[in-house]
Structure 1
Amino acid sequence: MAESAGFLIPVAGFAISAITGLPVGWAWLLMVVCGAGEGALLGVGQAVGLRGTSWQVPSARWVPATAVGAMIAWSLGMAPSSLVDLGVDIDLGNPLAWVVAGAGAVALLISIPSAQYVVLRNRIPHAWQWIPVNVVAWTVGLVFTFLPGPFIDESTPGATMAVTFALAGICMAATVAVVTGLWLRSRPVLAEPTLHS
């Protein structure tokens, strides 16, 4: 639920950028800030969802880590379209372009779980597995956020755009929550959860 609500922050950012015609650099920065908001809500939702369980995480560390990871993800995710909007010619016939795109995609997918791993590493055995599990979860989940793309443009009414992307966000969030939740439930813990968050 928290990720679904959080995804509305970047959706609002997209709408603001489209309506106001923000310059590319400012639009990119707005989306990075919106991404931090999304990440913070995701982190809060996960921390609340795990509270009182064996996998409880300290909110004071988990939420900022998740927000920073999301900022990195959005900065990378918005880079290609922002560069194109700035007039940069991305030559997809050049193998180097594919190498850079692939490296960027990997960095995007590992940004949030890598930041969260720092918090998990002393709590769960083999916590490094949180990273590939999240990569799979987000890879599948993000597909839903791309589905509205071909049907949405600058002429789409704001309400329609918001509802479409909100539904996509709910599907994405549910996918990530189920995959990562099932993995967590399969893990023992190294220590008793602390009561301090």
Structure 2
Amino acid sequence: MSTELATRGIWQSWFRWTTMGEFAGFLAPALVGALTSSAELLVLAGVVEGAVLGAAQAVVLRRVFRTPQSSYWIGATAVSAGFAWAVAMIAVHNGERFNSLPPAVLLPLAAVMGTGVLLSIGVAQWFVLHVHVHRAHLWVWANALAWAAGLGVFFAVATPLWQPGQPPALIALIGAFAGLLMASTMAAITGAALVHLVKQG
């Protein structure tokens, strides 16, 4: 098999597994968010989301690197996803307080929190990936880009569809649909990054 076909196969496999994993995992916070506004439950659901995503991605990584690092990858992804949801819940549940801050304080604070969310999964996964590839630090930035694009797609789709007074089932369905688009966007970008790192060795 040529190198081009091999790397194309890696991307396709990563795209399928990561899209399915993130979509399935995201159903947990989508359902919890439709039923309650509990920050604690949403953070826990975020940990579940990360664990499912990490497990799906580990299927591909075992084939690519042929080393049994699944538990580390799943754990790192689960913990970092929970961290990202915790930061998001702090922002959501303190919105009025944050809005009362002067712009000189609010903007840097928002930048730090947003950066923490976008970098969390990539940084956590780097600890596992860097023993297999050179320049693994690129994975951190690729993930940040992937999640920024994915979240942008999610909010662009879900925000206009969500309306006050909707039944929980419809809220969850909209969230799941937007989550599928988010997952495929993130999977496509991180898949390209993985292929690049594998080519670099």
Which range, TM-score by smaller chain? Answer: 0.7 to 0.9
Q: Which range is displaced more, 53-62 or 65-74?
A: 53-62
- For 2:61, the equivalent position in structure 1 comes to 50
Deviation at 1:123, TM superposition (A): 0.8
Partner Cα distance (1:181, 1:89) in 2: 36
Give 1:153 shift.
4.1
| Partners of 1:163 and 1:132 in 2: CA distance | 31
TM-score, scaled to structure 2: 0.83
Q: Which of 123, 146, 158 is equivalent to 1:114? A: 123
In 1, Cα distance between the equivalents of 2:146 and 2:34?
27
Residues 161 and 174 in structure 2, CA contact (< 8 A), matched pair in contact too? no
Match runs of 1:1-197 below 5 Å: 1-17=20-36, 27-54=38-65, 58-84=69-95, 88=97, 90-91=99-100, 93-147=102-156, 148-188=158-198
1:23 alignment partner in structure 2: none
> What is the CA distance between 1:163 and its match in structure 2?
1.5
3-state SS, counterpart of residue 88 of structure 1 = helix
Aligned-partner Cα distance in 2 for 1:125–1:184: 12
Structure 1 consecutive aligned stretches of length 4 or more whose deviation exceeds 4 Å: none
Report deviation, 1:89.
5.2
Deviation at 1:61, TM superposition (A): 0.4
Tell me the amino acid that sits aligned with residue 10 of structure 1. Answer: P
TM-score (norm: length of structure 1): 0.84
Cα deviation for residue 185 of structure 1 reads 1.1
Task: Count the aligned residue pairs.
Answer: 181
> Hey, which of these two has a bigger chunk of helix by percent?
2
Structure 1, residues 18-47: CA drift from partner, whole Å, max 9, x if none? Answer: 5xxxxxxxx111111010000001100100
What is the RMSD of the two structures over their aligned residues, measured on CA atoms? 2.0
State percent identity of aligned pairs. Answer: 34
Distance 1:56 1:7 in 2: 27
Q: Relative to 1, partners in 2 of residues 1:177 and 1:89: Cα closer, same or farther, differing over 3 Å?
A: closer
Whole-Å Cα distance in 2 between the matches of residues 100 and 57 of structure 1? 39
Do the aligned partners of 1:55 and 1:189 also contact (CA within 8 Å) in 2?
Answer: no
Change in CA separation of 1:68 and 1:75 when aligned onto 2, cut-off 3 Å: same
- Secondary structure in structure 2 of the residue aligned to 1:78: helix
Answer whether contact 2:149 2:185 (CA < 8 A) is retained: yes
- Seen in structure 2, the aligned counterparts of structure 1 residues 55 and 99 have a Cα distance that, compared at 3 Å, is farther
Q: Cα distance, 1:151 vs. partner?
A: 3.1
Structure 2 regions of 5+ residues with no counterpart? Answer: 1-19
Q: Aligned partners of 1:52 and 1:28: how far apart in 2?
A: 37
